Structure 1
Amino acid sequence: MAIASNGPQGHLNGKVGNLVFYMLNGQPVVRLIGRKGKPSTLQLANYQAMEVTMKLLNRVGSFIKLGYGLQAKGTVHNAHNLATSYHKKEALKGEYPNISIDYSKVMLSKGVMPETKDLKIEKVDGGLEISWDPTHYDELRHNDSVMVMICTPEAKRDQEYLNIARRSEGKCFIPMYEEALNQQIEPYISFISADGERISDSVYLGNLNGEGENPLEKQQKEKYQQVKTRFDQVESSYLNQMKENFQNKPDTKAFKYLEKEYKVLKKQLEHLPGKPG
């Protein structure tokens, strides 16, 4: 049952049939509920796109809270809503079921602060060094804070720095373990004013070490290795029995099953993706 708390002309709150009425961020909302049928390919693609987007944003939650907070101020949206909308539309690549993040299009902050010049990143002993032009003028102040996000999809050791340095310092150092330092790195930098009232668009500093394997590639390699391990066992048993019988096939049910599995696995390996090299 829905209740019209503000009279017959007011917004409903509750359920009417397969509709649910409620308030979201001060705005009246209605949504449809009910049993879902089998999803279409388009729906599955949409589900995966949202899942991939959410996994990214969960990794960079504090950064986007600042990065999109000013844009959301005074609207019915919040920072997470705005970041979700942008990344789902603009920062994905591939087709279902292989949708993934296009890190070159990720934007962790959006604002009006002008671009900072001479942004650079390089690997040094024990980590990364990021540098920029420390010059300040009317819209760029020496005490602007530096925000850095280091995404490491393979190592899963993302590093989030919301106030790692001042603009006047001209550089900052990001300590990293050797394992992470030599795997896929996707780095971003933003600048925010000391009073938190202005922020820059984030800048993608470029991929380091190339792209690692995506989840599908890892799954294919694992599957191939499982089949290969079983094939090696079956092949060894098959060849040993043939050798013991002077290359004559034993006329037993057990051997026939073994030979059938041997042939099936051998053919499967010829066409199975994930083969090394």
Structure 2
Amino acid sequence: MAISKNGPYGHPNGKIGKLVHYMLKGQPVTRMVGRRTKSSQKQLVNCQAMAVTMGFSRPESVLKFINIGFELEARGTVKNPHNLATSYNKKFALKGEYPNLKIDYSKAMVSQGSLAAPRDTKLVKTAAGLELSWDSSPLETGNHEDDIAMILLCYPGLEDASSYLNAAKREDGKHFVKLNESLSDQPIEVYMCFKSADGKEISNSVYFGNLNGEAETAEERHQKKKYEALKTRFDQVAASYLAYIELSGNAIVVTKAFRNLETEYLALKSKLDNLPGKPS
């Protein structure tokens, strides 16, 4: 059911038949309700690409950072900051092939703007946390010493993040982020951007780098768990199969039970040889 607050000739809000009506940033929008059919290969690829991209921005701290980082770009458009960030990262910050798509953290963006971005960046891990440093020399384009450094730490293995939205000033040239012991060995992806003191400008985000290696994706963890379960079953079947052959010597009696055991052994062996998730 839809409601028309402005009378019979106004734009409705809700569902009428196969159409859904709503307002988006002051503009009336009408779209058709989709009909579920079997997904094509391209649709499956697109669905996973969107799911992976949305997963990157799902942690609250990432979403908060993006809402600030893309807010200026979204002004004057019908899109919101999350739309713009998702569109960019889905197009430019994915790697791999379906069904193993993943975020390329080195290419992901969490802010976009025309302000001068951090230069000559360096990331150092210490016993207590992370030290980020950058070139603090004055810019030729004006007085930007009081630009605010915004820092984002992503923990892909935990599907979490931490943001520091007023970490330091451009002129400081460095900032130290203290890490809890529980995070010190986690894979960490680090980003930073500058925002002008008056909030009217922001820079493109800069990827500072990765610490502690690349985290496994949810799909990789699923495949690994699936492989381990199959390997456990294979080891059980293989032990029975090889023991039967050893006991039989050169006089194997091919019974129905043996044929079933051999069929399962060969099938499991073939699956293990081709199943993703095998330890490297």
Please say whether Structure 1 and Structure 2 have the same fold, judged by a TM-score greater than 0.5: yes
Residue in 1 that maps onto 2:275: 272
Residue range with higher mean Cα deviation, 243-252 or 201-210: 243-252
Shift of 1:37: 1.9
Aligned-partner Cα distance in 2 for 1:247–1:156? 56
User: Which of 224, 237, 241 is the equivalent residue of 1:221?
Assistant: 224
2:237 match: 234
Q: Residue in 2 aligned with 1:207?
A: 210
User: Aligned partners of 1:116, 1:275: CA distance in 2, in Å?
Assistant: 40
Q: For 1:182 and 1:217, how far apart are their aligned partners in 2?
A: 19
Size of the aligned set, in residue pairs, is 277
1:134 and 1:168 in contact (8 A); partners too: yes
Aligned to 1:23: 23
Aligned to 1:84: 86
Question: 2-side partners of 1:237 and 1:224: how far apart?
Answer: 20
Q: Conserved in 2, the CA contact under 8 Å of 1:155 and 1:179?
A: no
- What one-letter code is carried by the residue in structure 1 that aligns with 2:194? F
Residue in structure 1 matching 2:113, options 98, 111, 114: 111
Q: Which amino acid aligns with 1:90?
A: F
In structure 2, do the counterparts of structure 1 residues 78 and 243 end up closer, same or farther at CA, with 3 Å as the change threshold?
closer
| Counterparts in 2 of 1:22 and 1:274: CA distance versus 1, 3 Å | closer
The corresponding residue for 1:101 is 103
CA distance in 2, matches of 1:230, 1:31: 50
Identify which of 180, 185, 189 aligns with 2:188. 185
Counterpart residue number, 1:58? 58
Q: Displacement, 1:4? A: 5.9
Report deviation, 1:61. Answer: 0.6
Structure 2: segments with no counterpart, 5+ residues: none
CA distance, structure 2, for counterparts of residue 132 and residue 140 of structure 1 = 17
Q: In 2, distance between residues paired with 1:14 and 1:228?
A: 51
Question: Aligned equivalents of 2:159 and 2:35: distance in 1?
Answer: 37
Deviations 1:234-274 (A, max 9, x none): 22233444445556435655444334333332333333333
Give the whole-Å Cα distance in 1 for the aligned partners of 2:160 and 2:109: 19
Q: In the TM superposition, what whole-angstrom CA distance separates every residue of 1:26-48 from its partner, at most 9, and x where no partner exists?
A: 00101001532222222222222
Of 23-32 and 81-90, the range deviating more from structure 2: 81-90
Alpha-carbon separation, structure 1, partners of 2:6 and 2:278: 66
Hey, what does 1:165 align to over in structure 2? 168
Deviation by residue 1:92-124 (Cα, 9 ceiling, x = unmatched): 233432322121221111122223332211222
Measured after TM superposition, the shift of residue 209 of structure 1 is 4.5
Secondary structure of 2:30 counterpart = strand
Partner of 1:176: 179
The 1-side partners of 2:32 and 2:257 are apart by 58
CA distance in 2, matches of 1:7, 1:156: 46
Q: 1:140 to 1:110 in 2, by over 3 A?
A: farther
Q: 1:257–1:8: structure 2 CA closer, same or farther, 3 Å change rule?
A: closer
Cα 1:133–1:4, aligned 2, differ >3 Å: closer, same or farther?
same
User: How far apart, in 2, do the equivalents of 1:167 and 1:144 lie?
Assistant: 5
Greater relative CO, 1 or 2 (CA 8 Å, sep 6+): 2
Contact 1:50 1:88 in 2 (8 A): yes
Identify if the C-alpha distance between structure 1 residues 273 and 37 changes in structure 2 by more than 3 Å, giving closer, same or farther: closer
Instruction: State whether residues 128 and 176 of structure 1, in contact with CA within 8 Å, keep that contact through their aligned partners in structure 2.
Output: yes
Letter of the aligned partner of 1:80 in structure 2?
Answer: H
Deviates more, 1:38-47 or 1:179-188: 179-188
* CA pair 239-74 structure 1, distance change in 2 beyond 3 A: closer
- Residues 235, 125 of structure 1: CA spacing in aligned structure 2 closer, same or farther, 3 A cutoff? same
Distance 1:258 1:115, change over 3 A: closer
Identity percentage over the alignment?
Answer: 52
TM-score by length of 2: 0.83
